[in-house]
Amino acid sequence: MKKIINMPENVVDEMINGLALAYPQYVERIEGFDVIKRTDKKVGKVALISGGGSGHEPSHAGFVGEGMLDAAVCGAVFTSPTPDQVFEAIKAVQTEEGVLLIIKNYTGDVMNFEMAMEMAEAEGIKCDKVVIADDVAVMNSTWTIGRRGIAGAVLLHKIVGAAAESGKSLEEVKAIAEKVIANVRTMGIALTPCIVPEAGKPSFTLEDDEMEVGLGIHGEPGVSRMKIMPADEIIETLLDKVLADNPLAQGDEAVVLVNGLGGTPLMELFIANRKVNEMLTSKGVKIYNTIVGEFMTSIEMAGLSVSILKLDGELKALFSAKADTPAYKAFG
Active site residue 218: yes
Q: Please, what is the end-to-end C-alpha distance for the chain in angstroms?
A: 36
Packing angle between helix 83-93 and helix 107-122, nearest 10 degrees? 50
Choosing from 218, 241, 275, 310, the catalytic residue is 218
272 contacts: CB under 8 Å, gap ≥ 6: 231, 234, 235, 258, 304, 306
Choosing from 29, 38, 56, 147, the catalytic residue is 56
Nearest by Cα to 321 from 169, 166, 177: 166
Tally Cβ neighbours within 10 Å of residue 205. 9
Q: What is the CA angle 208-293-27, rounded to 5? A: 125
Q: What does the radius of gyration of the chain's CA atoms come to, in whole angstroms?
A: 19
> Do 211 and 226 contact (CB within 8 A), yes or no?
yes
The single-letter DSSP state of residue 45 is: S
Active site residue 157: no
Catalytic residue ranges = 56, 218
